[in-house]
Amino acid sequence: MPTGVAIRDVRGQLFDAAERVLLQDGPSALTSRAVTTEAGCAKGVLHRHFTDFDAFLAELVLDRIARLDRQATALRESTGTGTVAGNLTGALMDLFGSVAVAIVSLITSRDELRARLRQARPTGVPVLAEATAMIVSYLTAERELGRIAADADVHTLAPTLIGAGHLLFADRKGTPPEAEAVRKVVTTVIAGVE
């Protein structure tokens, strides 16, 4: 990019570029040079907006976590509609069909990034912790409507669903699972509480 040309929404462009690199080549390929090359800008642009690369990565993760809020709202609004298994299947497909699995890999591969994220999110693995909270909230609402058992342990069901979903999607290079495979896991996990 020529010097002196203004870039609209620099942060968004850099985050989107980082996401593309992460999805295409994995966390080990995610460097400031790879991000700025993918974004089509000079390397200095990233360092003008972030103190260092780990600060950039921490902001990227927090930005992607904020997107989960919209997914959580949509899932919560589906309470009482469709089927519980269908709603959970859709939520897991949306969650893990996005950049979430790659973000988890990024977090686990970079010590400094984990340390920075602990300042903002002191417990759990970022993204997975928020996803678990999203499922807990939804299951709690369904329990209140009587669509799952009153004694359903939503605090055990939610991380079980997130962990199983994560394992289904964990192979970044493989073919993502079909919705039916995800539905089978969901129906198995919630079989005793529906």
Q: 90 and 181 share a domain? A: yes
DSSP state of 174: S
Q: Please indicate, yes or no, if residue 26 is contained in any of the structural domains.
A: yes
What domain range includes position 163? 65-190
**CATH classification of the domain holding 43:** 1.10.10.60
Q: What is the pLDDT of residue 98?
A: 74
Q: 42 and 101 share a domain? A: no
CA 72/CA 131 separation, integer angstroms: 8
Cβ atoms 64, 127 nearer than 8 A? yes
Q: 112 and 44 share a domain? A: no
Q: 23 and 88 share a domain? A: no
Q: 39 and 71 share a domain? A: no
Q: What is the pLDDT of residue 2?
A: 46
Q: 35 and 113 share a domain? A: no
Q: What is the pLDDT of residue 7?
A: 55
Q: What is the pLDDT of residue 120?
A: 82
Q: 73 and 36 share a domain? A: no
Q: What is the pLDDT of residue 8?
A: 66
CA 131/CA 138 separation, integer angstroms: 11
Count CA atoms closer than 13 A to 81's CA, side-chain side.
8
Q: 19 and 69 share a domain? A: no
Q: 76 and 40 share a domain? A: no
Tell me the pTM.
0.84
Choose among 42, 46, 30: nearest CA to 5.
Answer: 42
Spatial CB neighbours of 84, under 8 Å, sequence gap ≥ 6: 139, 142, 147, 148, 190, 194
Q: 99 and 135 share a domain? A: yes
**CATH classification of the domain holding 109:** 1.10.357
CA angle 98, 100, 105 (to 5 degrees): 135
Choose among 124, 136, 116: nearest CA to 61.
Answer: 116
Q: Please indicate, yes or no, if residue 82 is contained in any of the structural domains.
A: yes
Q: What is the pLDDT of residue 1?
A: 43
Number of domain units in the chain = 2
User: From first to last of its 194 residues, what are the pLDDT tens digits of the chain?
Assistant: 444 445 567 899 999 999 999 988 888 899 999 999 999 998 889 989 999 999 999 999 999 888 888 899 999 999 999 999 999 999 999 998 878 888 988 998 898 898 889 888 777 888 899 999 999 999 999 999 999 999 999 999 999 999 999 999 887 667 889 999 999 999 999 999 98
